[in-house]
Amino acid sequence: MSVLVVGSIALDTVKTPVEEHADLLGGSASFAAVGASFFSPVRLVGVVGDDFPEEHIGFFRDRQIDLEGLQRAAGKTFRWSGEYHWDLNTRETRSVDLNVFEHFSPELPPAYRQSEMVLLANIAPKLQSQVLDQMDKPRFVIADTMDLWINIANEDLRALLPRVDLLVLNDSEARQFTKETSLIRAGRQIRALGPRFVAIKKGEHGCLLFGEGAFFSCGAYPLEDIHDPTGAGDTFVGALAGYLSAQSGTVGFAELRKAVVYGSVVASYNVEAFSLGRLRSLKREDIEGRYGMFRRMSHFEAFE
């Protein structure tokens, strides 16, 4: 089954203490779609300008990503620029130019409306709801969010949550949304607002997963060589969605636990190069090898 991915497609400029690169392929939907493509076919919905490089279109097609839902608009593609500090956890946004993304209104081709696995990447919650309004009873809906929407679109976000099976956000956003210092209390409180499951990303410290009467803590794969953390969270949720889409039957907590581990593994590859550079050469057997090593290191006997 295909994963429907809706979100931003961007051209990034990223600076770290040792390198800087411009006009990189970026955006939440780009990372998520490529992450999902290692497990399932992907349908991509987003918007780009007439300056969007053809080589990136070719990369999407090489990954067997369906681009019928990709809108092309006159003007410049969404651009983001950020700078990382020495710990590569602290990041400052230097500039944001929405360009054609400012007026993005997701419209699903007819074939996309029957998609059973839906990933609403990081866009305004009103647009995420607009996507669901066009869907025909999806099997599982995942939504990502960020601090901006918690600040300026809190009511829209709360209205979206009962329509979502899994909400994904990071630790600072969970605390911001709930006003709780404890991530355990925050996760449970967010679940009470509607989603069946909640995943709280903790960067290099892994992820917390919450379900009804269930809890799972997953570490992050230990890395020595980190070049660019941009898009790691989007790659994580994309791979998670792709893995779930490849499974038959109902999505339960056991399937989600395994999907979280696969998401962490694919995200660990993403940070090894700028933009999606490492994912261009990544093979499924690489993922399975690191998954097996990660499981042995973490004693995930439940995944036998």
pLDDT at 267: 95
Strand residues in 177-262 grouped as ranges (E): 197-201, 207-211, 214-218
pLDDT given for residue 225 in this prediction: 83
What residue segments make up the domains of the chain, in order of their start?
3-303
* Dist. CA 153–CA 169, nearest whole Å: 15
CATH 3.40.1190.20 applies to domain 3-303: yes
Q: How confident is the model at residue 223 (pLDDT cuts 50, 70, 90)?
A: confident
Mean pLDDT of 113-133: 97
pLDDT digits 0-9 by tens, 50-103: 999 999 999 999 999 999 999 999 999 999 999 999 877 788 999 999 999 999
| First-residue to last-residue Cα distance in the chain | 25
Distance, in Å, from the CA atom of 257 to the CA atom of 27, rounded to the nearest integer, reads 26
Whole-Å CA distances, 270 to 18, 76, 141, 165: 18, 26, 24, 26
Give the Cβ contact number of residue 30 at 10 Å.
32
Q: Where are the beta strands (DSSP E) in 121-268?
A: 140-144, 166-170, 197-201, 207-211, 214-218
**Which amino acid type is present at position 163?**
R
| In the predicted structure, residue 205 carries a pLDDT above the cut 90 | no
- The pTM is what? 0.94
Q: pLDDT band for position 249 (50/70/90)?
A: confident
